[in-house]
Structure formats: C-alpha cells, structure tokens
Structure 1
C-alpha cells in the first residue's frame, strides 16, 4: 500500500508510568525518569492520562516533547471538569483554561484531544452540539484534532453521527469492552481504543486477534470501513485515506505494551 493511498498509523498505550511494566516492558534498573524516553522509542504514540485529572505545567509538556523522537505524537485526555457536568454548554471556561495550560509546548507532537464522557452521560443533541462548538479548530496557528469518547447507548444515533461529522470530530471506536461501539467514521482521522488484553496471552491478544486489529488499522488508513465492526448506519463506502491512532488500553494492563509493539510490527 503506497504512502499516497494510506494515512499514518500510530499505535501506543495509555501513559507510561506503571509499576508492573518495570522489568517486563522496561529493562531492569532503567531509571524511572527515562521511562518515557524508552517507551517512545518502542511505540509510536502515547495517550497522556494526567491531563484528565488535573492541569499540567508548560514545562512538563516541553520536557515530554524533548524526551521523544521527532516523529512521535501524543494524544491528550481532556480535563474531566469539562465533560463530567450536567450542562456541557457551560464548559467554555474549563476548555479555555486547558488550552492555555501549555499544550502547544508539545509542538508537532500534539495529536488528538480525547474528550471522555462518563457512561451515564446521555446524548442531548442541543447541549452536545453546543459543546462541540466550544472546541477550538486551531490554537496558535496549529490545527487541532478532537475526538469524543461517548459511553452511553443513546449516542448510537444517526443524529449524533451527523453532528460529529458536521464538526469533523472523531468518535472513539471502543473495542473488546462493555462500552457501546460506534465505528462510523465521523472525522478525517480514526481513533480506536482496544481494551481486551488478557493475562494468559504473552502479547496481550492471541495472534489471530492481533492480525485482525492490524488489518483493521490498515483498512482505516486506506479510507475503508472494515467489516465486522458495529456501525450505527450502514458501513459507508471507501473514502479518502485517514490517519489512525490506536491505543491498547485497560484489559490486563501489564501486557498492553507487548500488544502495541506486536501491532506496530504487523502494520509496519
């Protein structure tokens, strides 16, 4: 598949600080301050979780940028204070504070922003539409990519799909979990979180499942709508190539780096 006919595929994990990875993913005696440096040379992206729980300093973003390779990209979990509220239309101040916190210090390594919602949050077309209007299209001249992680069945609606597409906002494709899956493409990129790593599998997933996700990622990158996923509408016809961000999250977390590296090898 030529580069002209395929988007870039980036695969990674959530965060990089996790004690069970020391001695399994990270070499013995590797200093903890070098864990991001190591992880970023074995993966192609990492979803930062700390930004979900609280504000980070500009110096931290600059440090993370400096410790990672030139072609590495982070995605950021947006602050929960913006999404865990009754009226989403009132999140403007929180959103502005987040984007003023120094995220642009990541430079070209700033990837998608994941706005994660609680599983109890239901789809309200007017309020959700007002929220999407609050998300800036660019920041300091840099285009921004937004993705929403919705976890209530009410979002499995053609109205939600149309709304997300109108704003070029991606919908997290949740897989191997109890969360509803919405595989309909709604943006110029794809963002997937697979959550089924197993303790009894050294690579997190059986080889057949790893092959499946690698082929699915390639299909997304080529602009296709792969079979076997759960769409709200009919699987759309092929479109333009899309960049793909795929994260191995949750499940048996200790094996997530191994699963991500196995997928990177398969798509490479």
Structure 2
C-alpha cells in the first residue's frame, strides 16, 4: 500500500445549522439541498448525526449521492460507545455502528472520529482493547458488522467496499492524556491524535501518531463561537504545510519527547465554530492560504443552479 501523499482536506463539522440559512446558505435554498450546496463549496464534511444516534442506510446513501465524486466524509463515532460505555465492552456496539450504513458512503468514507468525554481519564488497558477492535478495511468492517444485533436488523449495509481503508482518530478532553505512554499506544495502533483547538478548555496536543493528522478547530477565543483571524489562519496554515510535507513545527505542543517517524502526512481539518457562521468561511480562507481551491465566490451561480435565490453578498475577505 502506497504511503500518504500529503493531501490536505479542509472543511466543516456538520452542515445543518439554522443560523446559516440566508447567510451561508442562499435565501430560498431548500433544506434538502444544503448538503449539496456545502459540498460544492468545500471538499469534506464531518458527519455529526452519527454521534447522537445510529443513522439509517438510506441517509448514508443519500449523502453519498448528493456530493461530488471526489468528496470525503469524516464519520463521528457513536457517543453510546465513547460517552455511555466509555469504550468498555463495546464489541456489540461497534458492530451495530458499522452495520448501520456507513459502508454506503463507499469511497467517500474518510476517517472515523472518536471523541471522548471530558470526564474520561487515560486508561491504557481500556484504550488498547478498544483500538484492537477497530476495523481498518472493508473486509474487517464486514466481519465486525456481521455481528450486529436486532437494533439494526433489516436496516444494515454489510457489503465490503473494494480497496477501502479506514483510518481512526481520537479526540481527548482530560488532562491525564498528556502522557508519553498514551502517545506510544496511539502510534502502535496507528490511531491519529486529534489536534483540537478548544479556546484553552481541553488539552491541545500535536504529537504525530499516525500517517495522517486530524484537526478540529472549535474556536480559539470562545468555544464554538469565535472566528479565526488572519494571524490564527496563518498559524494553522504553517502547521498544516509542515505536517503534509513530513515535518513538525518547532513550537509543537507535545506529550512525548519521542519524535515521530518522518514522512508525509495527509491532513484533515474541520472547523466546528458554527454558532456565528464562521466555520465555512474560515475553512475557505485557510484553504486559500494552502493553495487549495474552494467554491466560495461561486455561491451566486450555485444558488441559481440549485434553484434558490442569490445570496446577495460575497464571501468575506481576509
């Protein structure tokens, strides 16, 4: 299997937000077309609904069909697994999650994000057991998903996707994870440590633990609300550029003194500062700093194509 090429994917976390309607989404755009519009603006989106409940195969199929051929989804793992069971005795729950329809995304399936609750402390034995269960390709997903129970009976997708590779990322929120042993465990299982900017509320770590980097930008001053200014976007662009080329930044915030093996990293970056409609614009402005194209600036034309009124405004300048 070829190594990562240093591809960068910058997008948003979720797409169904009422305050975005009439601002990011053009006036008159039908809600059923919001994903289509957002996917023409940005090349990747985190699916958040899968965190709150098991989705249905028809939803995953619809999301697949509404987005461009080269689009990628990150899928947020079930909070039943992370928050309620807290990763303990989760084989059945994992089988149900992977049987619920995620395979219907096909080659548009990107990383799976597992977000731990702030109360959950570092437990190496529990994490090791959880990581060992995680499927890494289509066949492994099929084998695990085949163990599902009656909760997804008659509403599952089990067909393996040829050539599918499944990557996993872990977002932690308890200070006990600032531990070199945790970093070693992630590296052994090739699970990416999420680089999370949470306005100083939870740990920010930049140890490279897999062949890709997963970034979540929740707001640098106010959680979920503040936008990223020019200096902040320049800061993140420099980091992403270093990581995709196989380097590490000099001022990296690390839990382990051991340096990761050098090599290019693919990068997935999602803006989760959705409250004041900053996320899609911040994503586009960061992408521009890295020489990546987005659909921002074409929203008037796209609105006409999708049957909505014009936005009446241009994308904010930086």
User: What's the TM-score, normalizing by structure 1?
Assistant: 0.92
Contact map agreement 1:149 1:172 (CA 8 A) in 2 = yes
Q: Assess if the C-alpha contact under 8 Å between 1:115 and 1:149 holds in 2.
A: yes
Separation in structure 2 between the aligned mates of residue 5 and residue 82 of structure 1, nearest angstrom: 29
Q: Among 270, 273, 290, which residue is 1:250 paired with?
A: 273
Q: Does 1:191 align with 2:214?
A: yes
Paired residue secondary structure (1:143)? coil
Residue in structure 1 matched with residue 228 of structure 2 by the alignment:
205
Distance 2:205 2:86 in 1: 23
Partner of 1:65: 64
What secondary structure sits across from 2:46 in the alignment? strand
1:100 equivalent in structure 2 = 99
Aligned residues: 262
Contact 2:227–2:273 (CA under 8 A) maintained in structure 1: no
- Distance in 1 of aligned mates of 2:14 and 2:251: 29
Indicate if the aligned counterparts of 2:167 and 2:191 stay in contact, CA closer than 8 A. Answer: yes
Question: Higher strand fraction: Structure 1 or Structure 2?
Answer: 1
Bigger drift between 94-103 and 77-86 goes to 77-86
**Cα distance, 1:174–1:87 mapped onto 2, change above 3 Å:** closer
From 186, 189, 193, give the equivalent of 1:167.
189
Q: 1:259 to 1:235 in 2, by over 3 A?
A: farther
- In structure 2, the partner of 1:83 is 82
Deviation of residue 208 (structure 1)? 1.6
- Residue 254 of structure 1 aligns to a residue in which SS? coil
Residues 1:151 and 2:150 aligned together? no
Structure 1 runs of 4+ with >3 Å offset: 250-253
Displacement after TM superposition at 1:182 (Å): 1.7
In structure 2, what is the equivalent of residue 228 of structure 1?
Answer: 251
Aligned residue number for residue 263 of structure 1: 286
- Runs of at least 5 residues in structure 1 that lack an aligned partner in the other structure: none
Q: Output one character per residue of 1:189-229: Cα deviation in whole Å (capped at 9) or x when no partner.
A: 00011122679xxx922112112112211111111112333
CA contact (8 A) 2:219 2:273 kept: yes
Structure 1 distance, partners of 2:106, 2:284, is 25
Q: Which of 232, 235, 238 is residue 215 of structure 1 equivalent to?
A: 238
Determine the C-alpha separation between the residues in 1 that align with 2:45 and 2:21: 17
Per-residue deviation, residues 67-124 of structure 1 (Å, max 9, x unmatched):
1111110001100111124562401100011111111111111000001110000011
CA-based RMSD of the aligned residues comes to 2.0
**Against the structure 1 CA distance between its residues 17 and 87, is the aligned structure 2 distance closer, same or farther, given a 3 Å change threshold?**
closer
Superposition TM-score, scaled by structure 2 size: 0.78
Matches of 2:115 and 2:84, distance apart in 1 = 12
